[in-house]
Structure 1
């Protein structure tokens, strides 16, 4: 699946909608598409639940503080949002949660209420929450961990890794490596999976790149969702915000603009592993998830292409009409589909139990 193919469809819809709305459209010599006004319907491929939820999601998102707001203001806003989501999830996906400190890093250990399944008794997943490397600790991690632990009947450890603006790269990667090394004392590498959404998806790739450079065995499989191995760029960085009612941005949200990456060379392969074919060829099987209204879709699709070129077993799933981190709201059919896709991927790729020795 190629990003140009996907986005050419979106752009064709955009041009058609523009013609209906204003009768005016244009293309500059450099390929820039211009439009005086545009009206883009929410298309029929998404579920009825998603169509009903979409305007509510946009209205709630419009209340979010800007990136320039005081960090505590943003953290309070997203903690309230994610705490509500986590409460709704626990009604649908029963789990138990306990807080621990692992290798000096705070973590919530999420276990299925019905117990870990026999096939997963030696397996574990590390979750890396989203939040622009600024927020998401605690409640944001639970949102990403609860349904996977419950549906997959597997232990999920979601990490409160260090974030900006208090910390800068590579603090989060260091935290992930510290916890991963600790888990290697009791697990084979193939029994460990790592996944994350948005900033967490980016961090999952950065952590694996760090393992490779530090000659630490890579995990059995990883998942990078709504954020992956290259910066947020490409067609969707412009079209995604437009499709979500935010208009076309003057500049897309680039990693280099985030406080966590202040003063860092954004083209460092430890920041964007997709820029290094030498690193990518050592990556484990990778699951990539996005939606057609996700501003990070092009980044995810391009990361999939780079992994495939490097010979990595990479699997891409794109949901029609879905926005950035769409599966954070559990009531959508698309969210359940994403959860089951994640569970099935790790079931296939994590190492099976070893035969226990008998006297």
Structure 2
């Protein structure tokens, strides 16, 4: 449900982008907040007693770059557990999310000398991102980007940062989709928009030469788009890259509890992120595969590369998605980065970010037709 973490080029600001990704709070705060997490379905479903874990300090690992250590060692984002109470509050949060990443968007665009053009496809706003130089193998290829943000945040160009970094690091042309979001447009509006854009692109590009990628909500929508395309008989892309997908809105994964308050981006499902998922889902069944793609049929999926971090609150969604793809005999690769919380592999200009995009770009190059 991400966009991208604090830029390594700037100091954290009070209303940082990490607020939307969800280092320790005062001990007095933790019990009351943790109590909400105790209602997670894991223990109730098994009938087994939960394991009690003693309080402990969690040091910043020395096994990552100094730049990433600064990100891992940052405190929880201010307001991570401030949940808007009405549509106006959610829209205000979306506006602030866009403002919080404006400087980073400019820095990414300038760093890679990208051309970013806003247009529409099937009535859906999109950003067409072209690098200064397109790699020879990629001249007839196209990547489709679906942004994160919990289905509620990073409207407009604010959502295109990940797409810009892929264009810059991978030297691909990228179309980033500015899909409709909650509260005004809950499920299935986002998926409808992505599918509509996919139909338009199929008229101009061979599907085997296109890939789809995104992180968090964008990762889930990547998977849901494949399920929707299968159900409608549409051609599938040559490869996909769903990163840290919020693929199970029932919050059943082990890491939802194991990494609660370890993740210094999302922090806990009891914060804004859980409320955003519920807002997007509305009254729909949370096990609907188009909402929670882990409940879908992964047979026939294109090759996939998945990315997450050891401290990611929804690491389990990534791991379970990878296992389900492998069980369906899909060519699927899993890369997990040391010490990273949710979507921190998107932090601009740190060594691990370049490495993660390099791996994804290499995967696309290996699996997309030339």
TM-score strictly above 0.5: yes
Q: How far apart are 1:215 and its partner, in Å?
A: 0.6
Q: What does residue 271 of structure 1 align with?
A: 291
Q: How far apart are 1:227 and its partner, in Å?
A: 1.1
Structure 2 counterpart of 1:205, from 211, 217, 223: 223
Give the match's secondary structure for 1:161.
coil
Query: Are 2:308 and 2:315, in contact at CA under 8 Å, matched by a contact in 1?
Result: yes
Is 1:101 aligned with 2:120? yes
Q: What does residue 325 of structure 1 align with?
A: 343
Bigger Rg, structure 1 or 2:
1
Structure 1 residues 228 and 286, CA gap change in structure 2 (3 angstroms) = farther
Structure 1 residues 234 and 205, CA gap change in structure 2 (3 angstroms) = same
> Matched residues in 2 for 1:90 and 1:308: separation?
36
Q: Deviations over 1:275-330 (max 9, x none)?
A: 23xx3112111111000111110110011000000011111000010111113321
Is 1:77 aligned with 2:96? yes
Q: How far apart are 1:272 and its partner, in Å?
A: 2.3
Q: How far apart are 1:87 and its partner, in Å?
A: 2.1
Q: How far apart are 1:63 and its partner, in Å?
A: 4.2
> Matched residues in 2 for 1:247 and 1:176: separation?
29
> Matched residues in 1 for 2:156 and 2:369: separation?
28
Q: How far apart are 1:218 and its partner, in Å?
A: 0.8
Residue segments in structure 1 that go unaligned for 5+ positions in a row: 1-27, 353-359
Is 1:337 aligned with 2:355? yes
Structure 1 residues 81 and 156, CA gap change in structure 2 (3 angstroms) = same
Structure 1 residues 307 and 252, CA gap change in structure 2 (3 angstroms) = farther
Q: How far apart are 1:235 and its partner, in Å?
A: 2.1
Structure 2 counterpart of 1:117, from 120, 124, 135: 135
Structure 2 counterpart of 1:237, from 230, 235, 256: 256
| Correspondence 1:263-302 to 2 at 5 A | 263-276=283-296, 279-302=297-320
Q: What does residue 68 of structure 1 align with?
A: 84
Higher strand share: 1
Q: What does residue 179 of structure 2 align with?
A: 161
Q: How far apart are 1:248 and its partner, in Å?
A: 6.4
Q: How far apart are 1:52 and its partner, in Å?
A: 2.2
Query: Are 2:150 and 2:276, in contact at CA under 8 Å, matched by a contact in 1?
Result: no
Structure 2 counterpart of 1:258, from 278, 281, 293: 278
Q: Which moved more, 1:90-99 or 1:193-202?
A: 90-99
Q: Which moved more, 1:29-38 or 1:39-48?
A: 29-38
Structure 1 residues 248 and 154, CA gap change in structure 2 (3 angstroms) = closer
Q: Deviations over 1:164-184 (max 9, x none)?
A: 111121111111111111111
Q: Deviations over 1:61-94 (max 9, x none)?
A: 2245733250122112211222122122234322
Q: How far apart are 1:201 and its partner, in Å?
A: 0.5
Q: What does residue 146 of structure 1 align with?
A: 164
| Correspondence 1:216-235 to 2 at 5 A | 216-227=234-245, 229-231=247-249, 232-235=251-254
> Matched residues in 1 for 2:92 and 2:274: separation?
22
Higher RCO (CA-CA < 8 Å; seq separation 6+) = 2
> Matched residues in 1 for 2:72 and 2:271: separation?
24
Aligned length: 320
> Matched residues in 2 for 1:247 and 1:108: separation?
30
Is 1:171 aligned with 2:207? no
Structure 1 residues 153 and 169, CA gap change in structure 2 (3 angstroms) = same
Q: Which moved more, 1:309-318 or 1:340-349?
A: 340-349
> Matched residues in 2 for 1:131 and 1:248: separation?
15
Q: Which moved more, 1:212-221 or 1:77-86?
A: 77-86
Q: What does residue 61 of structure 2 align with?
A: 43
Q: What does residue 88 of structure 1 align with?
A: 107
Structure 1 residues 239 and 332, CA gap change in structure 2 (3 angstroms) = farther
Q: How far apart are 1:247 and its partner, in Å?
A: 7.0
> Matched residues in 2 for 1:142 and 1:314: separation?
25
Give the match's secondary structure for 1:84.
helix
Q: TM-score, normalised by structure 2?
A: 0.80
Query: In angstroms, what is the RMSD of aligned CA positions?
Result: 2.3
Residue segments in structure 2 that go unaligned for 5+ positions in a row: 1-42
